[in-house]
Amino acid sequence: MTEPLRTGTPLVEMRDIRIAFGGVQAVDGVSIDLWPGEVVGLLGHNGAGKSTLIKILSGAYRADSGEIRINGEPVEIRSPRDARAAGIETIYQTLALADNLDAASNLFLGRELRDRLGFLDDARMEAETRRIMARLNPNFRKFAVPVAALSGGQRQSVAIARAVYFNARILIMDEPTAALGVHETRMVADLIKELKAQGLGIFLISHDTREMMELCDRVSVMKNGRLVGTERVEDVTEDDILSMIILGKNPRREAA
């Protein structure tokens, strides 16, 4: 099945990205893209290069060569600050939340709102937190407790709300359902679908092929620093994806 014609411009284009560490080519000429309202899954064994590739997009690493375009415009991403300025936010597995603070304090951590006299505007920060949560997770009610008391799915909600509130258009999510129960995993899946419906683009890193088949529009598989292939989920089976991960071969391309 051929790829459908798309109109407009991708949110992200990474072209011929390369980076080496100590003579080892961690990412070797990889090109991927991401469109508005799309979830692209990145799969591969540990050491395949997927996390390194995404760290280049998030500003944690600088590529040795290649080009990154955001909304069709070339960008230089030298740091996480550059990434955020380009509308890219990363939600790591650890979430980087301050456990002793409540949801509003975490959402505005380091970017607190202040009143005309320069004092913290706690009421406005809570109101803004309630507004963004109503959009993302209407069932969220625990605004007054430290996030340490929240469930895994609720903590994900806070981390995602922080990214979306500050106008992220591109989200990188690293193993967002790892160590979550069935109910919590469903909550996060619903959040991802809501973000997609709102036009955000999401790179999703996961080892769970079944989850990828459910949540992603396309999957990109890497092995030994190279891109094995990118396929629409509807065009492949879970076994096809596993074959790409393990053997480093794309069954659809082999059959063509």
Please tell me whether the overall predicted TM-score, pTM, comes out greater than 0.75 for this model.
yes
The answer to the question of residue 52 being in a domain is yes
Domain of 126, in residue numbers? 99-167
Task: Write out pLDDT tens, residues 37-60.
Answer: 999 999 999 889 999 999 999 999
Q: What pLDDT is stored for residue 1 in this prediction?
A: 38
Task: Write out pLDDT tens, residues 67-126.
Answer: 999 999 999 999 999 999 999 998 876 777 899 999 999 999 988 999 999 999 999 999
The verdict on 133 and 248 lying in the same domain is no
Q: Which tokens is 225 given? A: 């620093």
Q: What angle do CA 34, 35, 41 make, to 5 degrees?
A: 45
Tell me how many domains the chain contains. Answer: 2
The verdict on 239 and 174 lying in the same domain is yes
In the chain, the percentage of residues whose pLDDT exceeds 90 is 65
The answer to the question of residue 132 being in a domain is yes
Strands (E), the chain: 12-21, 24-34, 39-43, 65-70, 73-75, 88-91, 170-174, 201-205, 218-223, 226-232
